[in-house]
Chain A
Amino acid sequence: MSLDPATVRRIARLARIHLDEAEVPRLQDELNSILGWIEQLNELDVADIAPLTGPAQMALKMREDRVTDGGIRDAILANAPDRAGEFFVVPKVVE
Chain B
Amino acid sequence: MSYVIEGSTGAWEVVIGLEVHAQVVSQAKLFSGAATAFGAEPNTQVSFVDAAFPGMLPVINRECVAQAVRTGLGLGAHINLVSRFDRKNYFYADLPPGYQISQYQHPIVGAGVIEIELGDGSTKSIGVTRLHLEQDAGKSLHDQHPTKSYIDLNRAGVALMEIVSEPDLRSPEEAGAYLRKLRTILRYLGTCDGNMEEGSMRADVNVSVRRHGEPFRTRCEVKNVNSVRFVMQAIEVEARRQVEIWEAGGAVDQETRLFDAARGITRSMRSKEEAHDYRYFPDPDLLPLVLDEAWVATLKAALPELPDAKRRRFMDEYGLPFYDSAVLVAEQATADFYETIARGRDAKLAANWVMGDLFAALNRTGRTIETSPVSAAALGALLDLMADNTINGRIAKEVFEAMVDTGEAPGAIVERKGLRQVTDTAAIDEAVTAVLAANPEKLAEYRSGKEKLFGFFVGQVMKAMAGKGNPALVNAALKRQLG
Question: Residues of A with Cβ closer than 8 Å to B?
Answer: 13-14, 16, 53-54, 56, 58-73, 75-77, 82, 84, 86-95
Contact = CB atoms under 8 A, between A and B. Distances in A.
B59 A92 contact: no
A88 B279 CA distance: 27
B282 A70 contact: no
A91 B93 CA distance: 9
B157 to A, nearest CB: 10
A53 B51 CA distance: 25
Interface stretch (B138-146, B175-183, B414-422, B446-454): B138-146
A94 to B, nearest CB: 5
Given A73-B43, A89-B151, A67 B28 contact: yes
B149 A60 contact: no
Contact of A86 (B28, B43, B89): B43
Interface string B105-127: 00000000000000000000000
Contacts of A59: 287-290
13 contacts: A63-B59, A65-B26, A66-B27, A69-B34, A70-B45, A73-B46, A76-B43, A82-B148, A84-B145, A84-B148, A86-B42, A87-B151, A91-B148
Contacts of A76: 43, 46, 48, 51, 153
B373 interface: no
Interface in B1-51: 26-28, 32-35, 41-49, 51
Contacts of B51: 76
Given A53-B84, A76-B43, A76-B48, A69 B149 contact: no
B41 A86 contact: yes
A91 B147 contact: yes
Contacts of A62: 59-62, 65
Interface pairs A-B: 6 shortest CB-CB: A65-B63, A68-B33, A59-B290, A69-B33, A70-B34, A69-B47
B137 interface: no
Given A76-B153, A86-B43, A67 B287 contact: no
Residue of A61, A63, A72, A90 with highest tally of chain B CB at under 10 A: A63
B155 to A, nearest CB: 12
B65 A67 contact: no
Interface of B: 26-28, 32-35, 41-49, 51, 59-65, 84, 89, 91-93, 140-142, 144-153, 258, 269-270, 274, 277, 279, 282, 284, 286-290
Contacts of B41: 73, 86
A63 B142 contact: no
Contact of B27 (A67, A87, A88, A94): A67
A82 B63 CA distance: 36
A14 B151 contact: no
Given A61-B59, A70-B45, A87-B150, A14 B288 contact: no
A80 B150 CA distance: 12
A67 B33 contact: yes
Given A76-B46, A76-B48, A87-B42, A69 B32 contact: yes
Contacts of B92: 93
Contact of A87 (B32, B43, B274, B290): B43
A60 B147 contact: no
Contacts of A75: 48
Contacts of A13: 274
B260 to A, nearest CB: 11
Contacts of B91: 16
Given A90-B148, A92-B147, A65 B34 contact: no
A59 B284 CA distance: 13
A83 to B, nearest CB: 9
A83 B277 CA distance: 31
A94 B61 contact: no
B2 to A, nearest CB: 35
B93 A93 contact: yes
A60 B60 contact: yes
Nearest to A56: B287
Given A53-B84, A67-B33, A73-B46, A89 B28 contact: no
Residue in B35, B41, B142, B287 whose Cβ sees the most chain A Cβ within 10 Å: B287
Contacts of B32: 69
